Amino acid sequence: MNDSSTPTITVYGIPNCDSVKKARVWLDQQGLAYQFHDFKKQGVPAEALQHWLDKAGWERVLNRKGTTWRKLDAETQAGVVDAASAAALMQQQSSVIKRPVIDWGQGSLTVGYTPDEWPPAA
């Protein structure tokens, strides 16, 4: 089903995240092949992070509802005011990135578990 003309899908996140688990199950159910990039083991590629911020906006990529964000001190939270400060924090603490980030290929990107926004299976 997946030939050389099919874009490569990359799922970014951490394996024990419930949203990432649900996304991987959804992709498997659709028969879509994908690569998994583990933030904890592989880090967050700076070029990829910049692409996410450009495409989705830093407010969407930054997870202000998660445990990691809530554990940050008020000064650190208050220091996140723009894409540059958000990117710096996301590089230091990848767990503040909303998960999963899915690069669908050909410039298409989604953030979070949002199957209603995802491209239909080929």
Classify strands 34-38 and 108-111 as parallel, antiparallel or unpaired.
unpaired
- Which of 55, 46, 122, 120 shows the shortest CA–CA distance to 90? 46
Catalytic residue among 4, 5, 15, 17: 17
Catalytic residue list contains 64: no
**Contact 97/90 with Cβ under 8 angstroms?**
yes
Q: Give catalytic residue positions.
A: 17
